Chains A and B, each alone.
Chain A
């Protein structure tokens, strides 16, 4: 069964600090992995998308890494801002079939001033 596990479930950090969120998956065969940011009451917004051959991708202060061998990904946020407070969702899609994505439960990040 395809699964995506995210950790930690929640995280509280001070403004200006860095943090790293983790995503482990068992989706196979792998097609792509995406990170989304979802503000409360809004739809998710795409941060990065990575295919099998990519092991790092950046979007401003967000940097995602992918280790396809260990089936792990991380999202690193640099110099956090209050606006980074949101839920971060890892999504993995399988290849060669329906491409239906499997979603993680998300990590809730709170940035305090």
Chain B
């Protein structure tokens, strides 16, 4: 069974631009969660999608948004990028709930200049 895949793996953007990251969960998994990881803050929960609906949301500004498609693939969008958005963005999938066994993808390294 293929693992969680994320594209692109690396991205360099300029302040003010927007970016879209993609995540394909493990086949059969319906819950997809997104996390931001920085050296200073560690892993922080962004949001969780389940059956195309946002089920949970972390404490991030509205510039961070996401969606999930009918095949459970998910995208995350960050608008009006700031330098502080530079981070490793991780996607994780689980069968049905964010609080249980999760499988993480390799992440997308976003650098904002």
Contacts and interface: CB of A to CB of B under 8 A. Distances in A.
Interface of A: 31-32, 34, 36, 41-46, 49, 89, 93-95, 98-101, 103-106
Contacts of B56: 98-100
**Chain A to chain B: the 10 pairs with minimum beta-carbon distance, closest first:** A99-B99, A93-B99, A43-B104, A103-B43, A105-B42, A98-B56, A44-B104, A43-B106, A43-B107, A43-B105
A46 B102 contact: yes
A99 B102 CA distance: 12
B21 interface: no
A43 B92 CA distance: 9
A104 B42 CA distance: 7
B98 A99 contact: yes
Nearest to B102: A46
Contacts, number: 60
Contacts of B48: 100
B97 A99 contact: yes
Interface in B43-81: 43-45, 48, 55-56, 58
A45 B103 CA distance: 7
A105 B41 CA distance: 7
Contacts of B4: 43
Given A93-B98, A103-B45, 6 more contacts: A43-B90, A43-B106, A93-B100, A100-B58, A103-B43, A104-B42
Contacts of A98: 55-56, 98-99
Nearest to B4: A43
Contacts of A104: 42
A78 B16 CA distance: 48
